[in-house]
Structure 1
């Protein structure tokens, strides 16, 4: 299986990351990607870019040298209600919103609180995917959350970084989440969570997990650009119309 759209990448706008949009574009071309999303941390994170960083994503060309650049954010889940640190009018101008737990914003709590927060974020209509759900610091009811995701056309992320240097102890949770996702026919996004351009497009560990569980390729939303745009159309994203005019 080959993944041609990377849906999770951080620039130097998130100060613990080390690459520019141009760096990512260079690697995307080298590795044969069709598209990638820039998803710096939402403003509630201590190292996040200023709000203007996201507002000014409107200057991104829709594509450069045939590679599409999606305008996104890794939004923070703020509380048990599932509120996110992204509001209108910005919300509707971004193509792709990841909703994630981060310890500096939402201190780990109870399984019930995490479950409620995730369901709240999913049902809010503000996000298209749940980011790095395997984090062992944030256990949740897999069945309840994935049922909500299926009902609301929200994908579950398989985060390559969670199998490597981030969120140690995630792997068994990621596998268990994938097993529930497979049974419930959930949509899946495979992502690198790149913090430097050399990571872009390297989905090795995520693909091993997906293949181990036997996830149907038809349920992976970012196999290619066409599939990803089709998924975004379910969320009425303006990028769908913009790309259709190119």
Structure 2
């Protein structure tokens, strides 16, 4: 399946990634991306930047190397109530927010706890997508979460890094089952390379294969085109970004 938007990328600001935003944009262009979100880790992740880093993303250009850039964050899920580590002053500066489980912040627990937590995160209204859910250490009720995400217009990420087996071992079969649950619920899939080095940005060979294999409808994959992605953001209640108006035509 064609994918033109990468919604999960990191720069060296995350503390364990190795490229600059300019390098990421150059590789995004080389790999055929029309748009990507820069989503460094939020502050409770060890090594992550202070919240001022995210508030100051307003200075970033909207295009680099002819690729559109959205200002984002990969926030950390911090408790069962579904709270995430986004400073109250930061929301207005972000175009896109992922929420993810990370072991240094939220220790793995039971399937019931994980399910309750994810549903509370979705209902919080502060996030646009749930990141790398394939991790077997964070088991959850796929159907319940997929249906809740559909209801609240929250996307479920397919993470190419998880599918390659380099991180979150054991994610591959779970990712397919999660994607099938989203398909059945009529929900939304987003795609992230989770690139921590520029050369991985926009590479979706594993994600694309999975989407084709399960015959995921193109209209449910919000990263198929920039137009679909921007339309999804408006559906979520985010204000249109004037610099991207031509991409909505």
Q: Runs of 4 or more off by more than 6 Å in structure 1?
A: none
The answer to whether structure 1 residue 39 and structure 2 residue 28 are counterparts is: no
Give the secondary structure class of the aligned counterpart of 1:133. coil
* Structure 1 residues 8-157: aligned runs within 5 Å: 8-157=8-157
RMSD (Å), alpha carbons: 1.4
Give the count of matched residue pairs: 246
- How far is the alpha carbon of 1:47 from its aligned partner? 1.8
For structure 2, the residue ranges without an aligned partner over 5 or more in a row are none
- Tell me the secondary structure at the aligned position of residue 238 of structure 1: coil
Structure 1 unaligned runs (5+)? none
Q: Does the CA-based 8 Å contact 2:54-2:93 persist in structure 1?
A: no
| Residues 38-65 of structure 1: CA deviation (Å, up to 9, x unaligned) | 0001111012112121111111111234
For residue 241 of structure 2, what is the aligned residue in structure 1? 240
Q: Displacement of 1:66 after TM fit?
A: 3.0
Q: Deviations over 1:163-217 (max 9, x none)?
A: 1211000011111111111111110001111000000111011111111111111
Give the TM-score of the pair, scaled to structure 2. Answer: 0.95
Q: 1:132, 1:162 within 8 Å by CA — same for their partners in 2? A: yes
List per-residue Cα deviations over 1:46-87 (Å, max 9, x = no partner). Answer: 121121211111111112343211100000000111100013
Whole-angstrom CA distance in 1 between matches of 2:28 and 2:153: 27
Q: Is the 8 A contact 1:98 1:127 kept in 2?
A: yes
CA deviation string 1:82-121 (max 9, x = no partner): 1000133311220000010000000001111101110011
User: Secondary structure in 1 aligned to 2:136?
Assistant: coil
Mapped to 2, the partners of 1:65 and 1:17 lie a distance apart of 21
